[in-house]
Structure 1
Amino acid sequence: MKTPFHEIVETDRIGLPPAAGLNELLNKARGEEVPPSSDDSEKILFLAIDMQNDFMEKGELAVPGSHGDVLRAARFLYDHLDRITRVAVSLDTHQPEQIFHPIWWVDEAGNHPAPFTIITLEDVQSGTWRAVHHPEESLAYVRKLGEWSKKALCIWPYHCLEGTFGAALESQFANMVYFHAIARKSTPLRIVKGKDPLSEMYGIVKPEIGTDDAADTELLRELANYDRIIVAGEAKSHCVLESLRQILAHYEGDPEMTSRITVLADCMSPIPGFEESTEEALAQLQQAYGITVTTSGELAL
């Protein structure tokens, strides 16, 4: 590497708008003496889930520890620039009027639920919470969510609203992603998720409730093109964990495929209150599917 890491990633700007211009940075990337990604004999995908501003430590849905996660993920990309074939980034993308935002629901007094309120089927049936939009579909959704996904509806703070700073890829991680793109002649893969107003979509493959044809089959086919898939992102307890579940469930009959997945545990953090359940779920996936869980400092490529 010719370009020092600190000229690509400004550690004091994580979660903030960049201070340096992107054109100057990408001109430096053109001078990197690394082979194009098309020459890679081992194809490696770095999958970054929802590394967006609203999930940073001062964002609208802040994940404690996210700044350190970004720094370590960016450093891993930098240290393995010549080995990582492609970078994929998912982008949680919402509108205010979605079923998991406060504006969708009211109580008997017309008050909207506070963020992190849990709405159960019984709450909706009793009138404790009433859907302002699509009441019949909302009731059906909450019922199916409990029956199919064994979850209750969580009301989240408004976050990742399309077109806002919060929805954008975190600036310093974006610097590293696009530096890699120019240096390796490799177009990043963007995965936009979460635009259905009547469903949550934690995972990158499909909504929480949906038919089989709602799954992103093109993405699943793309994943199969890589010999190794390295996963990082936010939040570990929700979007990362659900993405892993969906990918592994799709390929559950193919242990050769599922064993290609490596999780960088130090490049992701859980939402507070979900630490123990997240570790238990990740350990279960590791045992059931043979995925590797390690750290960015321990993984050698």
Structure 2
Amino acid sequence: MPTRHLLLIDPQNDFCDIHGASLPVAGAGADLHRLAALLRDEAADIAALTITLDTHRRLDIAHPGFWQKTDGGTVAPFTPITAAQLRAGEFRPRDAAALPRTQAYLEALEARGRYTLMVWPVHCELGSWGHNLHGELQTAAVAWQLERQRHAEFVLKGMNPWTEHYSALQAEVPDPADAGTQLNHALLQRLDDCDELWIAGQASSHCVKATVEDLVEHLPSRRLDKLVLIRDGMSPVTGFEPQAEDFLARMRAQGLRIATTRELSA
């Protein structure tokens, strides 16, 4: 029997399309319902469970409270901000002393070519309801731990307010002074220590995408065929559907398997 590890990326209330969520992803609630059922049904064959938690503070470089317009006006959620706009004074940090570091961050972010800074609604704030696991998945995770008599591993990401942290493996621009933003070799090794790594969560356009891209680049064994993306266990942020489809196509071309929860529990 192959050893299976289930990696669930950010299955949190704030990303679910449910009442009270601050950054709902259309379809996320149904995704997590299917994943909870998969975890219940396949508990005996899932040897390890890792759950990542997007974890932010109120003041964050990707939250509105960090920013203001030239006239001092508020910056609305879902506003992209480029290094050029910052240089031109179209936007600026509310804390004037933060300008040099912010400018350097945006330039480094854009040099990577993966994302432009996005001002998101405040989400997954530490200590809030939105930071918590989706209720049904939480219940399934507790049942798995009791049945298997082992802990699920929880990985917090995003605590550093100076960098976005989509990937569970490293921040978009790692901070040399903060080990929590740098490539997580211990997590990479744990995820590689299995025959099959099942991957799902939210969102396929951002945190799932970034995590899997980093896995493909850094997996110690280089055995990409062990990575299984659960297609009906992830959804894109509205407006980013093409990015999600491109991601899945690229991963399939690199040898990753794309499967559904029904196929995995067949």
The residue type equivalent to 1:297 in the other structure is R
Aligned partner of 1:52 in structure 2 is 12
Measure how far apart 1:211 and its partner are: 6.2
Cα distance between partner residues in 2 of 1:274 and 1:296: 23
* 2:183 pairs with 1:215: yes
1:157 aligns with 2:117: no
Tell me if the contact between 2:226 and 2:256 (Cα under 8 Å) persists in the aligned partners. Answer: yes
Q: Give the corresponding residue for 1:265.
A: 231
Secondary structure (helix, strand or coil) at the match of 1:236 reads coil
Residue 132 (structure 1) aligned with residue 97 (structure 2): no
Q: Secondary structure at the match of 2:46?
A: coil
Taking the aligned partners of 2:140 and 2:53, their CA distance within structure 1 comes to: 16
Kept in 1: contact 2:192–2:221 (CA 8 A): no
Contact 1:248 1:258 in 2 (8 A): yes
Q: Which amino acid aligns with 2:106?
A: V
Give the whole-Å Cα distance in 2 for the aligned partners of 1:269 and 1:49: 12
- The one of 215, 219, 235 equivalent to 1:247 is 215
2:38–2:265 Cα contact (<8 Å) kept: no
Where do 1:185-196 residues align within 5 Å?
A: 185-196=149-160
The alignment of Structure 1 onto Structure 2 pairs a total of residues equal to 258
State whether residues 202 and 239 of structure 1, in contact with CA within 8 Å, keep that contact through their aligned partners in structure 2: yes
Secondary structure at 2:104 match in 1: helix
Could you list the runs of 4 or more consecutive aligned residues of structure 1 that deviate by over 3 angstroms after TM superposition? Answer: none
Letter in 2 for 1:47: L
Deviation at 1:254, TM superposition (A): 4.4
Distance verdict in 2 for CA 1:295–1:163, change over 3 Å: same
1:115-152 CA distances to partner (integer Å, 9 max, x unpaired)?
Answer: 00010111100000011241111000101111113421
User: 1:32-91: per-residue Cα shift (whole Å, max 9, x none)?
Assistant: xxxxxxxxx532111100000101113100011111101110111122111011211000
Check whether the contact 2:8–2:199 (CA below 8 A) recurs between aligned residues: yes
Report the Cα distance in structure 2 between the residues aligned to 1:110 and 1:283, rounded to whole angstroms: 43
Partner of 1:43: 3
Could you tell me which amino acid in structure 1 is paired with residue 84 of structure 2?
Answer: E
Structure 1 distance, partners of 2:151, 2:171, is 26
RMSD of the TM alignment (CA)? 1.5
Equivalent in the alignment of 1:19 = none
> Over residues 160-194 of structure 1, what are the superposed CA-to-partner deviations in whole Å (9 max), with x where a residue is unaligned?
00011100111110000110010111210101000
- Kindly state the Cα deviation for residue 112 of structure 1 after the two structures are TM-superposed: 2.0
- Residue equivalent to 1:104: 66
**TM-score normalised to the size of structure 1?**
0.83
**TM-score, length-normalised on structure 2?**
0.93
- Residue identity matched to 2:150: S
* Structure 2 gaps, min length 5: none
Q: Secondary structure at the match of 1:298?
A: helix
1:3 maps to none
